Amino acid sequence: MKKRLAILAAAGALMLSVPAHAMEVKIGFLGGFTGPIESMVPPIASGAKLAIKDVNAAGGVLGGMKVAMPSGDTTCADATKAADAADRLVNSQKVTALVGALCSGATISAANNAAIPGGAVMISPASTSPALTALKDRDLVFRTVPSDAFQGQQMARLIKAKGIDTIAITYVNNDYGKGFAASLKAAFEKLGGTVAASEAHEDKKADYRAELGSLESSGADTLVVLAYANSSGEVILRQAIEGGNFTRFVLGDGMVSDALVKAIGADNLKDAFGTKPGAPKAAGADIFAKIAKAGGIDPKAIFAAQAYDAAFLLALAIEKNGKPGREGLNKALREVATAPGEVILPGEFAKARKLIAAGKDINYEGAAGSHEFDAAGDVPGVIVEMKIKDGKFVEAGVIK
């Protein structure tokens, strides 16, 4: 009896000595908090944090463990810093999984240098480069946003529908820009359009007048800018307007920032339009709109819905996996995201937990639509047209 009491006392002391953070599960967030998309990141991060808030309000995961979300800054444009940020989250912070990164190059660097070697699942809510599809990722890298292989096709359709037959393209010289430009060029030419010039530019330059002169000499009067709102994209637009090089601008999703409109001036962009991944009209989108507004988030903010879904899906996968560890999480993720199963909508974590406990299948239908991951971790989706109204970007409808 004395021996048993001693063992129980030691066990009790050990439990008391376990730090509070051991009773939580960590899902990391990787974003470009500084750098060329910094004005776009706050609502994306807020979308992911809102999902974690909803999960914790429903009692957390795995019998009451709270979910924490430490973050890391990839800077978007620096592959080394992206790798370092991911390494800290995966190997020092010991996160179970990651939401992010956002910029495609940052996601690829974080995956190759930290997540894949560490066996950690990543879900990007914003990386659109087709290069992710071919990544040798051991089924660990997913995204809740469609590839630019699709966005390029839809942008081409939109441009042609507006009666524009000739374009010039300038794209940032990285995975995002190259993939988007190649997709757009192929699709536009297939529709009978002419791409008079398609030229890469380097990010973070102070002067793009030489590049603009080369593009203008192609004879096109419409310039497609596939770049970043807080970096090369803003400078290119400003200098193109000052020089009168082009009469109309088409903007990729990396340019869809109200800060850009403010910096350039809405009057200078009155004929501009662009594209971004959006959400179909569905119950999940309607519920998210209410949740987001209650949380002080614009539900239409670029990639906010996709970030909510990424974080919520990871929490569901952890619950389904039955443990806070990384092993088996990718399989559990596919199970909770894919039909058949009882539909789970944003905010319905308590319902999902009960169904999982009862051994029933669930199928998350999210804020940004269905996330039926294919073999490469890609999802279907919709692309919406963006216009500028009252000094802000607004959605003008799904591109059919």
The per-residue b/e assignment along 324-356, b for 16 or more CB within 10 angstroms, e otherwise, is: bebeebbebbbbbbbeebebbbbbbbeebbebb
Give the predicted TM-score (pTM) of the model: 0.91
Separation between Cα atoms, residue 362 and residue 335, nearest integer Å: 7
The predicted pLDDT at position 15 comes to 39
Name the DSSP letter for residue 22: G
What domains lie within the chain, and their CATH numbers?
Answer: 11-147+281-370 (3.40.50.2300), 149-276+382-398 (3.40.50.2300)
Read off the tokens for 246: 């082009």
Separation between Cα atoms, residue 335 and residue 363, nearest integer Å: 8
Which own/partner pairs from 56-64 qualify as long-range (CB within 8 Å, at least 24 positions apart)? 58/349, 58/350, 58/353, 59/349, 59/350, 59/353, 60/25, 61/25, 61/315, 61/318, 61/319, 61/324, 61/353, 62/25, 62/318, 62/319, 62/322, 62/323, 62/324
Q: What is the pLDDT along the chain (400 residues), one digit of tens a residue?
A: 444 444 344 444 433 333 444 589 999 999 999 999 999 999 999 999 999 999 999 999 999 999 999 999 999 999 999 999 999 999 999 999 999 999 999 999 999 999 999 999 999 999 999 999 999 999 999 999 999 999 999 999 999 999 999 999 999 999 999 999 999 999 999 999 999 999 999 999 999 999 999 999 999 999 999 999 999 999 999 999 999 999 999 999 999 999 999 999 999 999 999 999 998 889 999 999 999 999 999 999 999 999 999 999 999 999 999 999 999 999 999 999 999 999 999 999 999 999 999 999 999 999 999 999 999 999 998 999 999 999 999 999 999 9
